[in-house]
A and B are shown apart, each in its own frame.
Chain A
Amino acid sequence: MPGDVPTTLLAELTHRCPLHCPYCSNPLELIRAEGELTTEDWKRVFTQARALGVLQLGLSGGEPLLRKDLEELAAHARREGLYSTLVTSGLGLTRPRAERLKEAGLEHIQISIQDSDPEVAERIAGVRSVKHKQTAAALVRELGFAFTVNVVLHRANLDRIGEIIDMAAGLGADRIELANTQYYGWGLKNRAALMPTREQVERSREVAEKAIQQYRGQMQITYVLPDYYEPYPKACYGGWGKLYLVIAPNGIALPCHGATQITTLSFDNVRNHSLEWIWRESEAFRAFRGDSWMKEPCRSCPRKAVDFGGCRCQAFALTGDATNTDPVCTLTPLRHIIDEALAEAPVPMDHFQYRYVAGEPVQA
């Protein structure tokens, strides 16, 4: 389908991060600073992305504020007409930097919050961070950025979803994104410590639905349920290679931030190819476009136009074959994999395997 036009580019500017959250969406093999793209590389990518049709740019990481050229990159993105979102932990968002980002034309800042309970929040992040985040949030408000709080949910914080929503409103957020942990990469490694119970999920759904009504007009709330408890898989970004692309810190272009774990695919680099060629022609982006790659039960299923067979990364991570139906789907015999995971005995939080670069000293 050569006619697909992407709308969204997630630029993972760096994998370096002061936080060590055990559900990090970065891959297990983190890229080091010396492997990162240069300022000029990123600017070229942003220009090419806009020309390809991208409208939304996520400046993400790791912690993107660790890139000293962030302001320059944000200014370039704005000149190209992209709507940019800074996805940050808030750590490192000092007043001078926030003011320079405003001047550069950055429009939207997302700050991650780990929990409304400061003690648990810092246990999840693996570092003292709550104060920094409050200061950063106040700065984002004061300078008039569009402001989203994002929260990854799991067993240790899901019961406080109501308090977390109220906290985001108290910080002055325009939006809050509540998303349950996705179980691949670090999340999969820590699944037994993160997986909520069905009761927790049900209750959280009710609380979220009430809050959506309560905060209507003041703060937008989006709530993504954990797919393990759903009968059908999630539709990943409108389908593989349809709307979305990710550039990893080293320039590898991915159809989804989890795609590197599909070891049967090879990925091309923006250092060697134009973004347009990668989008239209590269093997990785063509691999699961359309539906000719599908097996049964997807191939003849009417839902294939709704969820595209689910998440390719999850299918590969859990079954070893990326062309299988996402095992979340109750229409596939593979569903037993999910049900067995849900039946696993939970392990406590002190079993977390925190996100660290291999060789990085683990804090006490």
Chain B
Amino acid sequence: MAPDSRLLTLDSVPKLWRLARLEYDQVRQRPVLLYPEGAVLLNDTGAAILELCNGSRTVGEIVTILTERYQADVGADVTEYLDRMADRELVRAG
């Protein structure tokens, strides 16, 4: 991937990789994304973003929901986070 290319735009419809699922890890007291041979420990914000990636909402809609929830402009954070997850192929554009 070229370093300047964005994998997702505000109109993309992200969803979790078919093989990944969200769990809550009681031991670490943290949400975790599980997939074949791997696991990503998430913070609450990361989990909140990924929970909204249901394959029907756009990135823009996710930003709107979270901006309202946190009463702050989270647009750049959300798109950057999803782009990083897309680069790792843990989130796919629908």
> Nearest B residue to A50 by beta-carbon distance?
B27
The reply to whether B27 and A52 form a contact with Cβ atoms under 8 Å apart is yes
Give the contacting residue for B34; candidates A52, A55, A216; CB below 8 A: A55
Cα-based distance from A216 to B25 in the complex (angstroms): 30
The reply to whether B36 and A175 form a contact with Cβ atoms under 8 Å apart is yes
Give residues of chain A (261-284) contacting chain B, Cβ–Cβ below 8 Å: none
The reply to whether B36 and A174 form a contact with Cβ atoms under 8 Å apart is yes
The reply to whether A56 and B37 form a contact with Cβ atoms under 8 Å apart is yes
The reply to whether B28 and A83 form a contact with Cβ atoms under 8 Å apart is no
The reply to whether A148 and B36 form a contact with Cβ atoms under 8 Å apart is yes
Indicate whether B39 reaches chain A with its CB closer than 8 angstroms.
yes
Chain A residues positioned under 8 Å from B35 (CB to CB): 83, 146
List 19 contacting pairs A-B, 8 Å CB cutoff, sorted by A: A5-B28, A7-B39, A50-B27, A53-B27, A53-B28, A55-B32, A55-B34, A56-B37, A56-B38, A83-B21, A83-B36, A83-B39, A85-B36, A146-B36, A148-B36, A148-B37, A174-B19, A174-B36, A217-B92
Indicate whether B23 reaches chain A with its CB closer than 8 angstroms.
yes
**B interface residues with partner A (beta carbon < 8 Å):** 18-19, 21, 23, 25, 27-28, 32, 34-39, 89, 92
Residues A220 and B23 in contact in the complex (CB < 8 Å), given A85-B36, A146-B36, A148-B36:
no
Give residues of chain A (129-148) contacting chain B, Cβ–Cβ below 8 Å: 146, 148
Chain B residues positioned under 8 Å from A55 (CB to CB): 23, 25, 32, 34, 39
The reply to whether B27 and A51 form a contact with Cβ atoms under 8 Å apart is yes
Cα-based distance from A220 to B39 in the complex (angstroms): 16
Cα-based distance from A209 to B37 in the complex (angstroms): 21
Cα-based distance from A52 to B37 in the complex (angstroms): 18
Give the contacting residue for A217; candidates B34, B36, B89; CB below 8 A: B89
The reply to whether A56 and B27 form a contact with Cβ atoms under 8 Å apart is no
Indicate whether A238 reaches chain B with its CB closer than 8 angstroms.
no
Chain B residues positioned under 8 Å from A81 (CB to CB): 23
- Interface size (A, Cβ < 8 Å)? 21
Cα-based distance from A31 to B3 in the complex (angstroms): 50
Give residues of chain A (209-266) contacting chain B, Cβ–Cβ below 8 Å: 216-217, 220
Give the contacting residue for B89; candidates A51, A53, A146, A220; CB below 8 A: A220
The reply to whether B36 and A108 form a contact with Cβ atoms under 8 Å apart is yes
Chain A residues positioned under 8 Å from B89 (CB to CB): 216-217, 220
The reply to whether A83 and B34 form a contact with Cβ atoms under 8 Å apart is yes
Chain B residues positioned under 8 Å from A56 (CB to CB): 34, 37-39
Give residues of chain A (67-104) contacting chain B, Cβ–Cβ below 8 Å: 81, 83, 85
Chain A residues positioned under 8 Å from B38 (CB to CB): 56
Output the residue of B25, B36, B89 with the most chain A CB within 10 A.
B36
Cα-based distance from A186 to B5 in the complex (angstroms): 46
> Nearest A residue to B23 by beta-carbon distance?
A81
Output the residue of A83, A148, A175, A216 with the most chain B CB within 10 A.
A83
Chain B residues positioned under 8 Å from A5 (CB to CB): 27-28
| Top 7 A-B residue pairs of the complex, sorted by shortest distance between their CB atoms | A146-B19, A53-B27, A83-B34, A108-B36, A55-B39, A146-B36, A148-B36
Output the residue of B25, B34, B37 with the most chain A CB within 10 A.
B37
Interface flags for A175-199 (1: CB within 8 Å of B; 0: not) read 1010000000000000000000000
Cα-based distance from A138 to B35 in the complex (angstroms): 21
Cα-based distance from A136 to B23 in the complex (angstroms): 29
Interface flags for A44-56 (1: CB within 8 Å of B; 0: not) read 0000001111011
Given contacts A50-B27, A53-B25, A217-B89, 20 further A-B contacts (CB under 8 A): A5-B27, A5-B28, A52-B27, A55-B39, A56-B37, A56-B38, A81-B23, A83-B34, A83-B36, A85-B36, A107-B19, A107-B36, A108-B36, A108-B37, A146-B19, A146-B35, A174-B36, A177-B37, A216-B89, A220-B89
Chain A residues positioned under 8 Å from B28 (CB to CB): 5, 53
Chain A residues positioned under 8 Å from B37 (CB to CB): 56, 85, 108, 148, 175, 177
> Nearest A residue to B34 by beta-carbon distance?
A83
Chain B residues positioned under 8 Å from A108 (CB to CB): 19, 36-37
> Nearest B residue to A144 by beta-carbon distance?
B18
Chain B residues positioned under 8 Å from A107 (CB to CB): 19, 21, 36
- Quote the shortest CB–CB distance from A270 to chain B (angstroms): 19
